[in-house]
Structure 1
């Protein structure tokens, strides 16, 4: 487990399915997420029970609030390749009452530090919808820089297309 002052990053458990189900069906939480086919709670429970172990290529961790003692989000490093020392990061805070207060920022820093120190990554990249200023602010605060813009590549739940920014972080750029 990776522990900070506000959050602990831990393996996802099958019992987390109820929270994840609630989050992916919340329009406010899923506003900027990549679309997916609807999934039932039973499907999410089964997926949780059959979840593969974390590996170098794909590390998925739950974000648990130390104060509340409950799961509040998910963070992952995926598509990692030791030959090039690069991975892509995804993060979301599903509990909207934890959108402020530094929970996402601390989880992001913990996961990036893990990627650089344990996985020996050289670069961590992510994609973010251009209109998601809250997330872009957090990413910049942690040290990510905007590398480029991909035009109209994200179709939101509103059916509209949105631009996305590619952002990246090198180890010396991480603001602890």
Structure 2
């Protein structure tokens, strides 16, 4: 990720369709987003942030993160989203998911990668299962959506299970 990506992220984070299933943060001004991006910390074992770009043209379309990793547990949590709506369903999310998981297992020497997904987000669950993630459990009414609460599903992938 680069500081000049701030404007794109600000646009995505202010699009109700893009953030529909994401944890809601307080609104952030464009200036605050630019400051945050100017101060991005370098990737480390505990927090690795990657841009998702198109193959042709290298256009920024999303991001993925492996976070909260520790060598003692060899486990990390994964976040991913495609912010450019015209790229939804194009396969970039699946490819990025496989790539970041392969990086986590090979380069970071992780044993387990976990994620949380809103139970009604069937498209995301389908992609996660396609690359080998399995359902571990359910956290009831853990995500506040617009007007109501939703269950969260915990999914994980162990090294050797990536398909």
Query: How far apart, in 2, do the equivalents of 1:69 and 1:59 lie?
Result: 20
Q: Equivalent residues in 2 for 1:80-119 (5 A)?
A: 80-119=69-108
TM-score between the two structures when normalised by the length of structure 2? 0.98
User: Could you say which residue in structure 2 is the equivalent of 1:153?
Assistant: 142
1:98 to 1:68, Cα distance in 2 relative to 1, 3 A: farther
What stretches of structure 1 of length at least 5 have no aligned partner? 1-11
User: Could you say which residue in structure 2 is the equivalent of 1:166?
Assistant: 154
TM-score between the two structures when normalised by the length of structure 1? 0.91
Higher relative contact order (CA 8 A, sep 6+): 1
- The more displaced of 60-69 and 128-137 is 60-69
Q: What's the C-alpha RMSD, in Å, of the aligned pairs? A: 0.7
Look up the SS of the partner of 2:20 in the other structure. Answer: helix
Once the 2 structures are TM-superposed, how far is the Cα of residue 68 of structure 1 from its aligned partner? 3.9
* CA deviation map 1:13-60 (0-9, x unaligned): 000011101111110100000010100111111101101111100001
Query: How far apart, in 2, do the equivalents of 1:42 and 1:155 lie?
Result: 27
- The more displaced of 65-74 and 43-52 is 65-74
What stretches of structure 2 of length at least 5 have no aligned partner? none
Query: How far apart, in 1, do the equivalents of 2:98 and 2:85 lie?
Result: 20
Aligned residue-pair number: 163
Query: How far apart, in 1, do the equivalents of 2:156 and 2:102 lie?
Result: 14
Look up the SS of the partner of 1:173 in the other structure. Answer: coil
